[in-house]
Structure 1
Amino acid sequence: MDIKKIQQDLKSLLSPKRYLHSLGVQETAIFLAKRYGCTVDKASVAGLVHDCAKDLNKQQMLNYVDEFDIIIDSVTKKQTELMHAVVGREFARIAFGIQDQGILDAIRYHTTGREGMTLLEKIIYLADYIEPNRNFPGVDELRKVALSNLDKATLMATDRTISHLISQGKLIHHDTISARNSLLCMKEIGTGVSK
């Protein structure tokens, strides 16, 4: 995959702010991949492209749902901000020629997480949360934990997401609940990372 070509194409698809965010996620994903023994190239591409469908409007996303025969669950139908990850998986495959299933799954689950997340999925989920352009109460603590324990940091991010959704009166996707429960059930949660 030609990362420079992907960057050029992505820059024309996204707003300047979203593109800057994508570069921040890419940078953070590379750092976390090196720290936790994940394939750096995959983390780089997944981090860069994770939001490739984010700036599509609702109708464009629905058109892609039809075109790609994507099945949208009831929560995503109501919580349409989740749709960019589902559409993004297929959009990345078609627009950028990405065929690696690990990268595509990391794009697909970067907003909700899921049960039994792979190392790459955790890295992209967390990188999206803590990239340098993010600024919210508690992000520095989360960044600090991410340096020593990827699973614990991912669990913390999931907890914060759930708390935020509850405070906003929004639906919580079942994949997010499953991700949290899966992380809590891991025996290795105290030791750094499970692969």
Structure 2
Amino acid sequence: MLKICGYTSQSHPMRSLRLRLPTFNSRDPPQPRYVFTCRSILTRRKVSTMDYRRIIDELKKFRTFMVSRQRAAHMERMEEDAIAFSKIHSVSVDKLLVSVCAHDLFRDVEPYKLMKIATLWGVKITAVEKHLPLLLHGKVAAEYVKRRFGLHDEEILDAIAYHTSGIPTDSKIVKSMFILDSTESGRVFDGVDELRNMALVSIDKGYEAIIKNKLIYAITNDLLVLPETVETWNYMRGVRD
């Protein structure tokens, strides 16, 4: 029987998405709750392959009672794509798989619960996210990974937090995660094959093309434009603070 944060898979407070919020104070610094034998994560030394694999394994188990079957299938397809993508572009497959296995863990949590968790954990909430709390699922997942595993790798945390919007970055991990979420093999929309092919040739060109596609789609369909997506587009046009 799976045991997570002191709960079994049958008694875990997030089972069936009936979420019981943690009791720790949001002002307290994030405390790691997962101790590896080598303790490399907790001391912020270089994380070993074994550490990453253990995190990935637990995230997969957590997924079984956190997301719908359809969502799980999406994440499983992304795992397969991530392995191939990492080989093509010489990206860390372990970091990418941690990001993939975590990014949508909270996607099926009710929006008002996401707001409560984000507030409790001190996650920065934008005006757009207040209007549409579902957008917080990536940030909440990143904070969960940080607290649960004591993982402080900014590439992984940003890849999880901003997989929907993108973010101004030069990180291959962050860009790869964004690309994979948008173009995984189960996605079907006009132009997706072109985006996939572009990303296989160049991470940078693929990232830019998908950011542009998201902006055009949002404006064309009168949807909200995420501020991070706009910032990313401007960053790629040479705008720097």
Q: TM-score interval w.r.t. the shorter chain? A: 0.7 to 0.9
Mapped to 2, the partners of 1:111 and 1:134 lie a distance apart of 14
The 5 Å alignment of 1:110-189 reads 110-185=163-238
Cα distance in 2 for partners of 1:76, 1:155 equals 23
Tell me how large the CA RMSD over aligned residues is: 1.8
What TM-score do the two structures reach when normalised by structure 1?
Answer: 0.87
Kindly indicate whether the alpha-carbon contact (under 8 Å) linking 1:151 and 1:183 is maintained by their aligned counterparts in 2.
Answer: no
Q: Distance in 2 between matches of 1:42 and 1:151?
A: 18
Contact 2:68 2:108 in 1 (8 A): yes
Identity %: 28
Amino acid across the alignment from 1:63: K
- Return the index of the structure with the highest Cα Rg: 2
| Structure 1 position 41 matched with structure 2 position 97 | no
Q: Tell me: higher relative CO, structure 1 or 2? Use CA pairs within 8 A at least 6 residues apart.
A: 1
Amino acid at match of 1:44: L
**Distance in 2 separating the partners of 1:57 and 1:17:** 17
Aligned residues: 186
Is the alpha carbon distance of 1:117 and 1:60 closer, same or farther for their aligned partners in structure 2, counting shifts above 3 Å? farther
Query: Which of 73, 85, 109 does residue 138 from structure 2 map onto?
Result: 85
2: distance between equivalents of 1:53 and 1:29?
20
| Structure 2 letter corresponding to 1:177 | V
Distance change >3 Å, CA 98–CA 53, structure 1 → 2: farther
What is the Cα deviation at residue 173 of structure 1?
1.7
1:178–1:117 distance in 2 versus 1, CA, 3 Å: farther
Question: Deviation of residue 151 (structure 1)?
Answer: 1.0
How many angstroms does 1:95 deviate by? 4.5
Q: Say which SS state the counterpart of residue 132 (structure 1) adopts.
A: coil
Q: Distance in 1 between matches of 2:171 and 2:148?
A: 24
Can you give the 5+ residue segments of structure 1 that lack an aligned partner in the other structure?
Answer: 187-195
TM-score, normalization by structure 2: 0.72
